[in-house]
């Protein structure tokens, strides 16, 4: 049976960097077309000069996604980002995403230089699982396998037996359940609940949530579906149950992208960070993409599903970190080597069970869904 620990980290600290208002205040103003071209050209030149590769998440600015693909990098979910950075020959990785992604790259490649456009770009799930509190949680339940979502700090991963991403979490927890293991899960309660319902595993869950996916509204989604009866609903499993139960496809960012490419439907309602729509539109220009609602019809913004920390990534930051060496990620020992074990265990499992992360196949430039 699933159990939930009633612990919430105070995200709305008006004085601190954990506040979403602080993050939105750091988001650069949109560039003019001329300035965008200039910054992009500077970034391309620097990537070549420094022999660096750009690894970008689907949720960051579309200009950065395009820059990554145009310069031999990748746009991917967190699982493929981790694998790509580890296996790429470049000794300098520029990770456009949020801090845990940069830390994962450094954990896997300690000999490489890992830079980020803005080190303040973090994640509500990471912030909501402080290492000291999590350590006490683990100590209180020593009989359980500790499984943590990728959206956690290096220090939290150092206490874990397994790290998972949304593309492989279901398969790994099912594997543990089949071995007779009980699971201690952190930090996203919605993803944990979905996995527990799908697998029947005995899971003790931390009470965390993604500030973006937690805002999707089941009632509003139901009304939107009535307006678009032919649209398929794509949902990330970090979303509330009232949203997940209405989905035609539940999956990771790359699994949702694959659904748009491979399903016959002409229209899709997409319940994840709207940054993914940039790549979806590029790869499926004939499909209609509709953002899932995060608020009611009276709201100023009917769908505002975008992570403020992802939005802090900009072309200017890519240039700055390459020119000035700012935004470098460091993960000290013994945390790095301790965290490496749970990440390697996930990567080894995915390599040994390739079907575990892909029910919809492969897409060029994306890797496993």
**Would you list the DSSP string of 333-362?**
TTHHHHHHHHHHHHHHHHHH-GGGG-SS-E
Closest to 252 measured CA to CA, from 106, 80, 67, 85: 80
Same domain, 43 and 107: yes
Q: How many angstroms separate the Cα of 183 from the Cα of each of 108, 172, 174, 209? A: 25, 11, 10, 18
| Average pLDDT score over residue span 41-65 | 97
Closest C-alpha among 52, 104, 62, 136 to residue 306: 62
Q: Are residues 264 and 327 in the same domain?
A: no
89 and 115 inside one domain: yes
- For residues 235 and 274, state if they share a domain: yes
Look up the domain containing 118 and give its range. 20-123+310-331
102 domain residue, yes or no: yes
- The residue with tokens 């869950």 is 205
Residues 292 and 323 in one domain: no
219 and 270 part of one domain: yes
- The verdict on residue 72 lying in a domain is yes
248: in domain: yes
**Is the residue at 34 inside a domain?**
yes
Q: Are residues 231 and 263 in the same domain?
A: yes
Cβ atoms of residues 327 and 116 within 8 Å: yes
Q: Which CATH number covers residue 238?
A: 3.40.50.10800
* Residue 17 pLDDT > 80: no
Assess whether 289 and 326 both reside in one domain.
no
Helices (H) and strands (E) in the chain, counts: 17, 15
pLDDT attached to residue 345: 96
pLDDT at position 360 is 40
Please determine, for residue 9, whether its predicted confidence score (pLDDT) is greater than 80.
no
Residue 162 lies in a domain: no
CA dist 20 and 127 (Å) reads 11
**pLDDT value for 362:** 31
Query: What is the pLDDT, as a whole number, of residue 303?
Result: 79
Do 264 and 322 belong together in one domain?
no
Q: How much is the pLDDT for 355?
A: 83
Label residue 130 by pLDDT band (50, 70, 90). Answer: very high
Tell me the two tokens of residue 152.
């956690």
Residue 43 within a domain = yes
Among 306, 339, 357, the domain-final residue is: 306
Question: Do 34 and 92 belong together in one domain?
Answer: yes
| 37 within domain boundaries | yes
Question: Residue 50 in contact with residue 328, Cβ under 8 Å?
Answer: no
Whether residues 257 and 322 fall in one domain: no
Q: Number of structural domains, the chain? A: 2
Mean pLDDT, range 73-80, rounded to an integer: 91
Confidence band, pLDDT 50/70/90 cuts, at residue 358? low
Mean pLDDT of the chain, nearest integer: 90
Examine the domain organization and report whether 232 and 250 are in the same domain.
yes
Q: What percent of the chain has pLDDT over 70?
A: 91
4: pLDDT confidence band, cut at 50, 70 and 90?
A: very low
**Residue 159 within a domain:** no
């Amino acid at each position: 049976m699933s159990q939930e620990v009633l612990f919430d980290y105070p995200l709305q600290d008006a004085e601190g960097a954990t506040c979403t208002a602080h993050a939105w205040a750091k988001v650069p103003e949109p560039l003019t077309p001329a300035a965008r071209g200039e910054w992009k050209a500077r970034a391309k030149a620097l990537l070549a000069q420094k022999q660096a590769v750009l690894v970008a998440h689907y949720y960051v600015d579309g200009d950065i996604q395009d820059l990554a693909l145009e310069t031999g990098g990748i746009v991917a979910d967190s699982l493929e980002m981790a694998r790509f950075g580890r296996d790429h020959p470049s000794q300098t990785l520029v990770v456009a995403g949020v801090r845990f992604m940069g830390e994962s790259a450094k954990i896997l490649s300690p000999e490489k230089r890992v830079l980020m456009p803005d080190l303040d770009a973090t994640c509500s799930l990471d912030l909501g699982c402080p290492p000291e509190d999590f350590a006490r949680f683990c100590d209180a339940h020593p009989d359980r396998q500790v499984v943590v979502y990728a959206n956690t700090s290096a220090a939290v991963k150092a206490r874990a037996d397994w790290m998972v991403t949304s593309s492989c979490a279901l398969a790994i927890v099912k594997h543990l359940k089949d071995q007779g293991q009980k699971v201690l899960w952190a930090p996203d309660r919605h993803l944990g609940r979905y996995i527990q319902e799908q697998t029947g595993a005995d899971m003790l869950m931390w009470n965390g949530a993604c500030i973006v996916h937690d805002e999707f509204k089941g009632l509003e989604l139901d009304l939107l579906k009535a307006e678009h009866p032919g649209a398929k609903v794509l949902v990330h499993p970090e979303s509330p149950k009232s949203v997940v139960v209405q989905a035609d496809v539940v999956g990771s960012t790359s699994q949702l992208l694959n659904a748009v490419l491979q399903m016959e439907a002409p229209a899709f309602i997409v319940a994840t960070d709207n940054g993914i729509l940039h790549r979806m539109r590029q790869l499926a220009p004939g499909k209609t993409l509709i953002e899932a609602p995060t608020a009611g019809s009276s709201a100023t913004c009917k769908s505002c599903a975008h992570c403020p920390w992802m939005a802090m990534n900009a072309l200017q930051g890519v240039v700055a970190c390459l020119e000035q060496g700012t935004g470098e990620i460091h993960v000290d020992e013994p945390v790095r080597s301790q965290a490496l074990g749970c990440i390697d265990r996930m990567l080894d499992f995915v390599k040994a069970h390739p079907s575990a992360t892909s029910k919809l196949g492969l897409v060029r430039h994306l890797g496993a869904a």
